[in-house]
Chain A
């Protein structure tokens, strides 16, 4: 569904991503793990069209999308939950979700999407009239995911869904990742919490200073001594 070939992302002269290859197949949940500054978020930003890659090629759904802007990709079913959640703080939960449906204008289908979002995240249904800025960090993350789902993505990119959340909330967020996956949405998520990410995903890539150093099944990675030592603190 998504294939990345020799992707390079650079800020000025500094290369954050140094020619990586990556593949996400339909129905998969794939994790991209690695330490701070490994280039995970830059990769994701390039994939979602928020950053222009300096070199390489990205194919999505059988067509090249290298350098295509985000608004174009969202319409083709490639949505992203930005890092740091990026909810609209002064808009209510419901308004945030309505914003997520920006590219759609079929009222009855949007109503169904609302219903789905509230079933998936009952907490959001309780708080629908509340400004998003007053939600807790975990609730904001849920809202960001629910809002991205309102675009009806076929491929969802998640940037650090567990960032800055309490451990219990992190568990909860990964439960929802599984729930969303169960709905048939393909996902690529970037995470620092390697253990949870690999437990949730089918496959994983390990990134280190701009390059992919390991790629395998999530289970294999979890038991690999390299990963255990570097990311699981053993």
Chain B
């Protein structure tokens, strides 16, 4: 990328921008409206994967309960913007609030696990994820807060003034359904997440995280406050999850504890690992692929029908099988991910030193 000359780079950015803006309409025309929805979900997963990437990829802290922050963000939004508690706050308040509450939960998880690493940390975070889900499932008695397993319905969509994103609008000859409008909101948030991730990676904080990931003791003897930096990683990662959760709740209009299972944590982790732990571009790619792949594999049923005249294997069985196979093959042939992290953290800095020496 850096080798490209400026005009080309500029042109490439314009092309990417135009493509991203046109994407929902192109996708709808080519694959149908269902895929616009999948695209929206993929954008949410990009945010989630980037958040988890801060914890796992940058700071090297294995977190198997990450979806809990997504749940916290989602419930924070749902409770304060639905008939459940008869509160309807605007999303401009709720999204930052969700981010803050999720960050608080991140610190809540981080503080007691400061001394843990690797397997042990994974087990505790796994437990944390389950605790949140079970809590949401049972907070309907004696006082009904979360409505338990039934979940929360009729969650307010994102709206500014009278403009609701859930309704269909027409603008400049294009029809914006809710799916289209949400696409642009999610795209903005995903792009912001990418920018924040990249900035963090290149910052002093990012360097401290790398040091902690590589060797915590050595990091401490470099003058890095390992405790605060680890807590910051948990909090920052959780923030992304919290915002994504709020967006998810408004987008779906309905949430229940069912959406926040361990398998969802694992899925986000797979996106990070498969895409390329620590590399922002790789993680984005991982999120898109792992959202699209299981959906694309649904077409195996109709394909069997067309080729063999009947459906031999239930596509829902085969789908997860093929998905698993794809994961195994990936890890065999590209163990550090599709798009592995270049270690560019202090490169710009050390290159200057080379020039000086």
What residues make up the interface of A, taking CB atoms closer than 8 Å to B?
Answer: 48-50, 69-71, 74-75, 79-82, 86-92, 94-95, 97-100, 102-103, 105, 107, 110-111, 114-115, 118, 125, 128, 147-148, 151
Contact = CB atoms under 8 A, between A and B. Distances in A.
Given A48-B221, A87-B218, A92 B350 contact: yes
Interface in B164-218: 204, 207-208, 210-211, 214-215, 217-218
B215 A118 contact: no
Interface residues of B, number: 29
Given A95-B343, A98-B346, 9 more contacts: A48-B221, A50-B221, A79-B223, A102-B223, A111-B357, A118-B357, A147-B222, A148-B221, A151-B222
A78 to B, nearest CB: 10
Contact of B350 (A71, A79, A98): A98
A173 to B, nearest CB: 18
Contacts of B345: 91, 95
Nearest to A88: B214
B343 A75 contact: no
Given A50-B217, A82-B217, A99 B222 contact: yes
A40 to B, nearest CB: 17
15 contacts: A48-B221, A71-B224, A74-B222, A81-B221, A82-B217, A86-B221, A87-B218, A91-B345, A94-B346, A94-B353, A99-B211, A111-B356, A114-B356, A128-B350, A148-B221
Contact of B214 (A80, A90, A103): A90
Contact of B353 (A80, A88, A105, A114): A114
B3 to A, nearest CB: 19
B115 interface: no
Interface in B30-62: none
A100 B211 CA distance: 10
Contacts of A89: 214-215
Contacts of B214: 88-91
B305 interface: no
A60 to B, nearest CB: 15
A90 B343 contact: yes
Contacts, number: 101
Nearest to B222: A102
Instruction: Report the 10 A-B pairs with minimum CB-CB distance, sorted nearest first.
Output: A74-B223, A86-B218, A88-B214, A94-B350, A103-B223, A98-B346, A111-B356, A114-B353, A71-B225, A70-B220
B215 A102 contact: no
A80 B219 CA distance: 11
Contacts of B347: 95
Interface in B288-325: none
A26 B357 CA distance: 31
Nearest to A87: B218
A86 B224 contact: no
Given A88-B214, A94-B350, A50 B356 contact: no
A32 B357 CA distance: 36
Given A71-B226, A88-B215, A99-B346, A110 B221 contact: no
Contact of A86 (B208, B217, B223): B217
Contact of B352 (A71, A92, A97, A107): A107
A115 B354 contact: no
Contacts of A98: 207, 346, 349-350, 353
A114 B357 contact: yes
Contacts of A114: 353, 356-357
Contacts of B210: 88, 91, 99
Nearest to B214: A88
Nearest to A90: B214
A74 B355 CA distance: 28
Contacts of B354: 94, 128
A111 B355 CA distance: 9
Contacts of A80: 221
B208 A102 contact: yes
B211 A88 contact: yes
B220 A99 contact: no
Contact of A102 (B207, B343, B353, B357): B207
Contacts of B219: 99
A95 B184 CA distance: 39
Contacts of B349: 98
Contacts of B357: 111, 114-115, 118, 125
A118 B357 CA distance: 9
Contact of B221 (A79, A97, A105): A79
Contact of A71 (B204, B218, B223, B353): B223
A123 to B, nearest CB: 14
Nearest to A133: B214
Counting chain B CB atoms within 10 Å of each CB, which of A89, A94, A99, A105 scores highest? A99
Nearest to A45: B217
A155 B233 CA distance: 31
A89 to B, nearest CB: 7
Given A94-B353, A111-B353, A115-B357, A99 B207 contact: yes
Nearest to B348: A98
B221 A92 contact: no
